[in-house]
Amino acid sequence: MIAAFAVVALVAVAITGALAAVAFDRQVRASAAAQEARIAAATVAAVSAAYETTGWAEAGLRPVMSYIDGTGAVLRVTTAVGQVVARSPGFAAARGPALVRPVMAGHRKVGLMTIRFGRSVLVTGQARYTAERWQVSAAAALAALLAAVAVSLAATRHLSAPLERVLAAMRARQAGDREARVHGVRAAGVIGDLADGFNASNDVLDNRDRAQRDLVADVVHEVRTPVAVLRAAIEAMLDGVRELSAENLRSLRDDVLRLARMIDDLQRLSAAESAVLRLALSPHDLGAIASAAAAMLAESFDVKGVRLRCLPGGVRVRCDEDRIREVVTNLLTNALKFTPAGGDVEIRVWAPDAQTAVLRVSDSGAGIPPDELPLVTGRFFRGRRGAAEAGGSGIGLAIVAELVRAHRGALDIASEPGRGTEVTVTLPSSG
């Protein structure tokens, strides 16, 4: 960056100096030409006046020669036939352009005047300026270089300070400091976005690590109890404390089945979380999927004495049919668990507009307390009422939330204790 600033400064000085030199040269040449024309006009007038007074006498031309000598020019005066009547001492050695003017007496040409301005003041000044210009340009280039270095150092420090903070935070994170963040960066543009992105990515990673730790803790908590029961029952049978009977074996089998269901639920949750990578998307009738899932669970509703009403609409969505059927099945099963006998469950499908499809499952069950409502899609969450009134692993709504998210949809849960729950799934319509 310092080199770039220096190059820019030097180029700017060079361009400015070149343009200034060109402009000055033009002005000097124009001023010199104007002065030379004035001197020539005055000289020819003086020579004409001297001729009319004294003819070509040397005494009459002496004042003219003195004037010319004072201007730094040289002069030669000849008669009409070319005879030299007056000449400056250095005329023969003078070089450069010459001004030639006729000497008139009345309307008659009586002679010829030739002036050379090789030693004029302006021409000499121009030569001196040309010689000094490089010295001034060199001094200006040095000053610009120093200024560029100073500015570039300040700019580099200003730009590198936030980057150094990001780098320090990255090294701290690499060393195992999970709390490492970039603080105090108020840079605009890409550098500010980099710092914010680093903090955001660390937050995401920390949340993911925390979720994984929570999942392991939840699995350990859920598995510990049935494993402990199985172990105690088997040890009691081996020690002869408990009889090895069909009833006791059935109890052990029930505990094993409970563990198997928990493992199945965990597998389904893992599959739901990675579903976005494996969805088999194609156009399907959302109402037909809802009707099929409701028909499959109709017997369970009849056994419990809960009325199930299905209002399918002809709405087509681009989805994975098996995954959406799993969403509907989980929602209906969850509603059945928490709806007492004599209650109602309704599933409805409709399209509020051409781009949206909506599936809603509502029940007249116990409802969800307001403090638990934000937590119901978490893993293994069953709530106080759910743990007492229904079995299961508590990850059904977590699976639903992941599958809906994989389909780029939205899940909304509204509930009022004592009046039931309403779960709404919004999906993009395929037209």
Q: Please state, in angstroms and rounded to a whole number, the distance separating the CA atoms of residues 78 and 269.
A: 117
CATH architecture of the domain with range 281-428: 2-Layer Sandwich (3.30)
pTM: 0.49
CATH of domain 1-177: 3.30.450
Torsion of CA 134, 138, 140, 146, to 10 degrees: 170
Return the domain boundaries, the chain: 1-177, 190-270, 281-428
Pick the CATH number of 190-270 from 3.40.710.10, 3.30.1540.20, 1.10.287.130, 3.30.300.30: 1.10.287.130
Q: What are phi and psi of 302, to 5 degrees?
A: -65, -40
| pLDDT at residue 386, as a whole number | 47
| pLDDT at residue 327, as a whole number | 92
Q: What are phi and psi of 177, to 5 degrees?
A: -80, 100
pLDDT of the chain, 431 residues: tens digit per residue: 566 666 666 666 667 766 666 666 777 677 778 888 888 888 889 889 888 888 888 878 888 888 888 888 889 999 988 899 998 888 888 777 788 999 998 888 999 999 888 654 455 555 666 666 667 767 776 777 777 777 777 767 666 777 777 777 788 877 877 777 777 666 666 767 777 777 788 777 777 677 667 666 766 766 776 788 788 888 888 888 888 888 878 878 877 877 776 777 677 666 666 655 578 899 999 999 999 999 999 999 999 999 999 998 889 999 999 889 989 998 999 899 889 999 999 999 999 998 999 999 999 998 888 888 777 776 655 555 544 444 455 677 888 888 898 899 999 999 988 889 999 999 998 76
